[in-house]
Amino acid sequence: MKKLSFFFTSALAVLAFLLAATTSCTDKCEQTYTYMAYEPVYLSFAELRQPLVVTAGRELKQPGKIYFKAPYLLINERNEGLHVIDNSNPASPQNVAFIEIPGNIDMAVKNNVLYADSYTDLLAIDISNPENATLLSRTENAFTDIYPTDPNLGIVTGYNEVERTEVYDCNQVYPMPYLYNDVAEAGGMTDNSIGGGAPTSGGANNAPSNGVGGSMARFTLASDYLYIVTPNNLQTYYLSNPTQPQLTTTTYIGWNIETIFPFRNHLLIGSQTGMFVYDLVNPANPSYVSQFAHITSCDPVVAEGNYAYVTLRSGTPCQGFTNELDVLDISTLTNPQLVKTYPMTNPHGLGIDNGTLFICDGDAGLKIYNATDVYTIDQHQLAHYDNINAFDVIPYNQVLLMIGSNGLYQYDYSNLQNITLLSTIPVKP
């Protein structure tokens, strides 16, 4: 009897265990979720800060901004460095060297010293002999509000799209994974980061020691100072020793700051919300004067006489939906006033020289106007080259330098009734 009781008790225990195990398996619920995400790509600081490398001239692949310092024309190869073109004869430009600068987008030249960004760093480079350019100094971590960084991994230079699979417990609340990354969509580090500028010494009447940049520039020069705009700030560097730029002030301006243009001892600064005016009464510490606000949009600016010309364009990095040319009366810089608005297709950079206005209208090409009467600009178009993509221009000494996704184009506009193409440097597929 005792044996039967023990057997019955043991059987019940085994049955209870099996039931418990079965219930546990039944209650456990798992769900697999697969999605696309963006993972950061890092460049280590050691890789970034390698010795400067200069190679033979090479073909254009993804041209960005342009800069002219006689006799050389510099063409940015986005995030890779600078093409050095001997432009002594605009009808026959010679590609003489390529300066490798990781993360380069912008540049300015004073005398024979090139100032260029390299991701987070500011470089000073001797280009008295561009084929043997040498690094003079490196200001580390000069730009801290452009690229995300990790002290151990380095600089985030982009994002890779990857597929991820996660397993979740059905009985638990779990966060929804990020399916999209705004920074990755915007191209990483701003394409106005890929395109932004302005004349770096006052346009065609610049001092001989300084070069001239396009309207999409973030670097500009005035007297013995280098001015740089980042997405939020205006940085001022004193160049008493040109080989060692000395930061004097960092001035917070706002958000989505894009371009800078020197004008009458002032700086005209373009942002996605408007144009800011700063004076250079104290060049070491520019001070706020006024602002002209507009709807959210990218907006390079140039100026001549009593007028500033601002293009507004749409697109993902620019956020807005407006494509137009705005003409502002800046005869009183403390109170800029809108004079006239002209519709455009998708305008990018622009230039003005002695009343002749050059507008890069994206895929709609290059448009040239007589702008002496700001109220009737659209009625005085001098030329339209619609078979090219136009990004930015530098009008200098009656030669127009224009860069676009197709390459570099140079035009002789000494006779506005007969503007002629001088030369091209095409982008190679």
Which sequence spans correspond to the domains of the chain? 45-146+188-426
Mean pLDDT value of segment 119-124: 97
- Rounded Cα gap, residues 246 and 237, in angstroms: 5
Mean pLDDT value of segment 353-365: 96
Model confidence at 225: pLDDT above 60? yes
pLDDT, tens digit, 9 for 90 and up, residues 51-85: 999 999 999 999 999 999 999 999 999 999 999 99
- Rounded Cα gap, residues 418 and 399, in angstroms: 13
pLDDT of residue 145: 85
pLDDT, the chain, mean: 85
pLDDT of residue 320: 63
- Rounded Cα gap, residues 216 and 301, in angstroms: 8
- Rounded Cα gap, residues 263 and 227, in angstroms: 13
Which positions ≥6 away from 51 have C-beta within 8 Å? 135
User: Lowest mean pLDDT: which of 188-197, 219-228, 257-266, 381-390?
Assistant: 188-197
Angle 135-246-118 (CA atoms, 0-180°, nearest 5)? 45
pLDDT band at 319 (very low <50, low <70, confident <90, very high): low
pLDDT band at 8 (very low <50, low <70, confident <90, very high): very low
Return the SS3 of 11: helix
Q: Which of 359, 193, 344, 198 is nearest to 267 (CA)?
A: 198
Q: Give DSSP secondary structure letters for 209-278.
A: TB-EE-TT-SEEEETTEEEEE-SSEEEEEE-SSTTS-EEEEEEE--SSEEEEEEETTEEEEEESSEEEEE
User: Lowest mean pLDDT: which of 11-20, 148-157, 274-283?
Assistant: 11-20
- pTM score of the predicted model: 0.83
Question: DSSP code of 415?
Answer: S
pLDDT, tens digit, 9 for 90 and up, residues 279-310: 999 999 999 999 998 766 667 999 999 999 99
pLDDT of residue 429: 78
| 190 φ, ψ (degrees, to nearest 5) | 70, 120
Which positions ≥6 away from 149 have C-beta within 8 Å? 120, 155, 156
Q: Considering the domain 45-146+188-426 in this protein, what is its CATH number? A: 2.130.10.10
- Rounded Cα gap, residues 147 and 261, in angstroms: 24
Which positions ≥6 away from 299 have C-beta within 8 Å? 258, 259, 270, 271, 272, 274, 275, 310, 311, 312, 313
Highest mean pLDDT among 17-21, 39-43, 127-131, 179-183: 127-131
pLDDT of residue 21: 44
Mean pLDDT value of segment 210-236: 95
Which positions ≥6 away from 219 have C-beta within 8 Å? 106, 107, 108, 115, 117, 197, 200, 213, 226, 227, 228, 260
- Rounded Cα gap, residues 48 and 60, in angstroms: 22
| 204 φ, ψ (degrees, to nearest 5) | -65, -20
Q: Give DSSP secondary structure letters for 339-407.
A: EEEEE-SS---EEEETTEEEEE-BTT-EEEEE-SSTTSGGG-EEEEETTS-B-EEEEETTEEEEEETTE
Pairing assessment for the beta strands 212-213 and 63-69 based on DSSP bridges: antiparallel
- Rounded Cα gap, residues 318 and 7, in angstroms: 81
How far, in Å, are 103, 345, 364, 405, 410 from residue 429 at the CA level?
A: 22, 26, 21, 11, 21
Q: Residue 149's beta-bridge partner residues?
A: 155
Residue 237 tokens read as: 């560097």
- Rounded Cα gap, residues 117 and 103, in angstroms: 7
User: Lowest mean pLDDT: which of 99-103, 165-169, 359-363?
Assistant: 165-169
In the chain, the percentage of residues whose pLDDT exceeds 70 is 82
| Amino acid occupying residue 47 | E
Return the SS3 of 108: strand
pLDDT, tens digit, 9 for 90 and up, residues 29-52: 777 878 888 889 999 999 999 999
In the chain, the percentage of residues whose pLDDT exceeds 90 is 69
pLDDT, tens digit, 9 for 90 and up, residues 162-206: 888 888 776 665 444 433 333 333 333 344 433 333 333 333 333
Cis amide bond preceding 395, omega within 30: no
Mean pLDDT value of segment 401-425: 97
Model confidence at 240: pLDDT above 70? yes
Model confidence at 230: pLDDT above 50? yes
